[in-house]
Structure formats: structure tokens, C-alpha cells
């Protein structure tokens, strides 16, 4: 699959599990990495929330730092997450050994973070790759370990299809990506709007 440059921004409509909208912006960092910043809001089973996030990845698309703020009827809450060069994660300054082996961040509220492993790993068609992630819950920004696997099913110039599985949530679906590696369709979760 030929990789096109990321656009300046993109947006998604939540569908299925929740109603809402996400918008994200992509910027090059001076060290060759990227900054992904955005906002997502939704009504999910009568729970209303809005999450603002900023994710910094290095030139190899490994998560380096995450800042997020959520707003719910209970008020505001923020979280600071960092991953050092040795792969150790800290959440609000506290070491989290349960996240050892994770390289990516994954927001419950976002279709954007599914782009991280797609940019970071050189997938081979038909071969599944385990990519556990530090998973951030939308309502309270609680951070948990997420077990997941991506398998490249098909890649052509303009798009790619990955089979996605999460044993944590007993969930599986096929994700469709554009040539820049951004999700076009995440069944039951989101569809690309622009």
C-alpha cells in the first residue's frame, strides 16, 4: 500500500455504539514525529461526554506523550500519560508496569488512534500482529491495558482493510483505511466524514 501524507485534518461521525462527532488535526514535529490533536464528543447510552486530546508520537510512530481532558456532567478531569525510551508508561506521574509491552495509546472515544499501529508496523497480508495498547476510557480517562490484534486482509493503492480483534472486549470487525492510513469505516463505531 502506497502511503499518502496525512491531511491537515479529518473528521468522523460516531455511529452504532454512540452518537457524536470527532475532529482531529495532524502536525509534523521538529524531531520527525507527529502531533495528533482533536476533540470528540458523544451521547452514549444517555451518558454525555466530550474529550479533548493531544497525542505525540516519535518518527517511528511510537507514543511518547498524551494529554487529555474530559467533560461530563460530573465535571472536568485531565490525565497526563508518558512513555519513556525504555517503554515504561507513567499515568499522572505514576509508573504503570501493567502497560509494559504497549507502544500505542488508544482512546475509547476516538477513531484516530487506530492509525498508530498502521503507521508503525510493516504488516504482511494475512499475518496477524498483536498490538496491545494503553486504553483511555472516555468518561473518566481511566487507563487500562487493551489486548488487540490487527491482520492486514487487503491493501491496494487507495485503501487497506484490516481485521481487528480485541480479546479484552470480545470484539472483532474489519476496519477500512484510506491511503494516508486513517480510518474510513469502523463498523459500529465511526465513519469518516471528511
pLDDT 10s digits, 145-169? 999 999 999 999 899 999 999 999 9
CB atoms inside a 10 Å sphere around CB 162: 24
Q: Which residues contact 55 (CB under 8 A, 6 or more apart)?
A: 35, 36, 37, 63, 65, 66, 105, 112, 113, 116
Q: Does position 102 have pLDDT exceeding 90, yes or no? A: yes
Summarize the confidence of residues 174-183 as an average pLDDT: 97
Tell me the three state secondary structure of residue 48: strand
**In this model, does residue 3 exceed pLDDT 90?**
no
With a CB cutoff of 8 Å and minimum separation 6, the contacts of 75 are none
User: For residue 138, how many C-alpha atoms fall within 13 Å in the half-sphere facing its CB?
Assistant: 22
Question: What's the confidence (pLDDT) of residue 2?
Answer: 56
132-150 average pLDDT score: 97
* pTM to 2 decimal places: 0.95
Average pLDDT over residues 122-149: 97
pLDDT over 70 (residue 1): no
Check if the beta carbon of residue 175 is closer than 8 Å to that of residue 114.
yes
Which ranges of 109-183 would DSSP assign to H, the alpha helix?
115-120
CB atoms within 10 A of CB 184: 17
Determine the average pLDDT of the residues in 114-118: 97
Instruction: Tell me the pLDDT tens digit for each residue of 46-71.
Output: 889 999 999 999 999 999 999 999 99
Give the pLDDT of residue 84.
Answer: 96
The pairing of beta strand 104-107 with beta strand 133-136: parallel
CA–CA separation, 42 and 34 (whole Å): 26
Amino acid at each position: 500500500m502506497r502511503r499518502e501524507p496525512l491531511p491537515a485534518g479529518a473528521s468522523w461521525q460516531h455511529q452504532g455504539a454512540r452518537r457524536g462527532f470527532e475532529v482531529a488535526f495532524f502536525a509534523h514535529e521538529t524531531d520527525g514525529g507527529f502531533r495528533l490533536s482533536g476533540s470528540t464528543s458523544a451521547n452514549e447510552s444517555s451518558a454525555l461526554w466530550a474529550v479533548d486530546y493531544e497525542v505525540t508520537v516519535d518518527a517511528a510512530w511510537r507514543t511518547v506523550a498524551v494529554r487529555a481532558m474530559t467533560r461530563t456532567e460530573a465535571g472536568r478531569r485531565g490525565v497526563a500519560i508518558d512513555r519513556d525510551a525504555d517503554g515504561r508508561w507513567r499515568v499522572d506521574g505514576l509508573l504503570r508496569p501493567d502497560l509494559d509491552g504497549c507502544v500505542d495509546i488508544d482512546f475509547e472515544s476516538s477513531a484516530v488512534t487506530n492509525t498508530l499501529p498502521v503507521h508503525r508496523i510493516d504488516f504482511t497480508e494475512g499475518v496477524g500482529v498483536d498490538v496491545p495498547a494503553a486504553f483511555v476510557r472516555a468518561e473518566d480517562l481511566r487507563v487500562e491495558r487493551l489486548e488487540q490484534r490487527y491482520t492486514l486482509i487487503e491493501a491496494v493503492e487507495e485503501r487497506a482493510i484490516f481485521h481487528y480483534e480485541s480479546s479484552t472486549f470480545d470484539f472483532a470487525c474489519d476496519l477500512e483505511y484510506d491511503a494516508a492510513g486513517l480510518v474510513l469505516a469502523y463498523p459500529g463505531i465511526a465513519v469518516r466524514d471528511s
